[in-house]
């Protein structure tokens, strides 16, 4: 059904671009030749006639010197009908582009469908625990490098699982970024689901893989049709979230 005020088929969706660009287009077409069909500028016609006669005399002198020299008309001397035809052609092209820019419509998700997007980047725990340097060790270092703690740069791999209603949606492991494996591990996955209430559970182990999961979130979420549910991780609060 055609909606006059909301939705993709609203009147303003088509009226606003027409109201903005139509005056510009018709003003352009009017000044390049349409007005000459309704108003005859005698002074301009006389100037063109004198210019034509002058150009004809020049061409004759050139032909007498160089034989049959052919020269195309300059764009500025073309009749207004050429400019009018060019304006009509541009108008048709703009119309075709505007029509196919909005039609046919494309729906990313079908009726009653939704999407879960797993999107997070999180640094794992350090592979080796930090140790405190002794006074003798600190004395051997340069003044600008005398940090009390000595820590390994390498981070652990992250294991992550995502379940919905007891069914596995994703299970995988991400390695840390960087040449020294000291960056964050990233996940980016999409899953199409049916809308409605679902028990969604996400688990992550960012440390020793032999130990239990370090972060877990499980809750019932009412996913609306066409909703894009984000599963992420808040680094400030150190916990998962659904949004």
Summarize pLDDT for 126-143 with one digit per residue, the tens: 988 888 888 888 888 888
pLDDT of 21 over the 80 cut: no
% of the chain exceeding 90 in pLDDT:
39
Q: How confident is the model at residue 1 (pLDDT cuts 50, 70, 90)?
A: very low
Model confidence pLDDT, tens digit, residues 152-188: 889 999 999 999 999 999 999 999 999 989 999 999 9
Position with higher pLDDT, 201 vs 138: 201
pLDDT value of residue 36: 66
The arithmetic mean of pLDDT across residues 88-109, rounded, is 80
**pLDDT value of residue 18:** 72
Give mean pLDDT, residues 49-54: 84
Question: Residue 2: its pLDDT value, please?
Answer: 45
> Is the model's pTM score more than 0.75?
no
Q: How confident is the model at residue 33 (pLDDT cuts 50, 70, 90)?
A: low
Is the pLDDT reported for residue 77 higher than 60?
no
**Pairing verdict, β 113-122 and 228-234:** parallel
- Quote the CA–CA distance of 89 and 87 in Å, as a whole number: 5
Could you tell me the maximum CA-CA distance found in the chain, to the nearest angstrom? 104
Taken in order of first residue, the domains within the chain and their CATH numbers are: 11-102 (no CATH), 113-125+157-242 (2.60.40)
* Residue 45 confidence (pLDDT): 75
* Three-class DSSP labels, 145-206: HCCCEECCCCECCEEEEEEECCEEEEEEEECCCCCCCCCCEEEEEEEEEECEEEEEEEEEEC
C-alpha separations of 166 from 52, 169, 189, 203 in Å? 87, 9, 18, 13
The tokens for 81 are: 């009908």
pLDDT of residue 229: 95
Residue 122 pLDDT: 94
**Among 232, 225, 170, 164, CA closest to 198:** 164
Contact by Cβ (8 Å): 215, 124? no
């Amino acid at each position: 059904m055609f909606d006059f005020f909301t939705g993709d088929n609203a009147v303003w969706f088509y009226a606003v671009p027409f109201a903005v660009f139509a005056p510009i287009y018709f003003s352009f077409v009017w000044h390049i030749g349409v007005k000459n069909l309704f108003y005859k500028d005698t002074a301009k016609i006389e100037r063109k006639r004198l210019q034509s006669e002058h150009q004809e005399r020049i061409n004759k002198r050139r032909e007498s010197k160089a034989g049959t020299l052919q020269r195309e008309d300059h764009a500025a001397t073309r009749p207004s009908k050429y400019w009018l035809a060019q304006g009509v052609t541009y108008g048709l092209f703009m119309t075709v582009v505007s029509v196919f820019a909005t039609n046919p419509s494309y729906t990313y998700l079908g009726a009653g469908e939704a999407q879960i997007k797993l999107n997070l980047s999180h640094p794992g725990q350090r592979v080796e625990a930090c140790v405190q340097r002794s006074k003798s060790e600190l004395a051997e270092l340069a003044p600008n490098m005398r940090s009390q703690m000595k820590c390994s740069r390498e981070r652990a791999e992250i294991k992550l699982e995502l379940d919905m209603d007891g069914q596995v949606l994703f299970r995988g492991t991400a390695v840390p970024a960087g040449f020294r494996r000291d960056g964050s591990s990233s996940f980016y996955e999409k899953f199409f689901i049916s809308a409605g209430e679902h028990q969604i559970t996400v688990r992550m182990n960012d440390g020793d893989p032999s130990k239990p999961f370090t972060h877990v979130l499980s809750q019932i979420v009412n996913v609306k049709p066409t909703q894009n549910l984000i599963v992420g991780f808040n680094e400030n609060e150190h916990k998962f979230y659904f949004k």
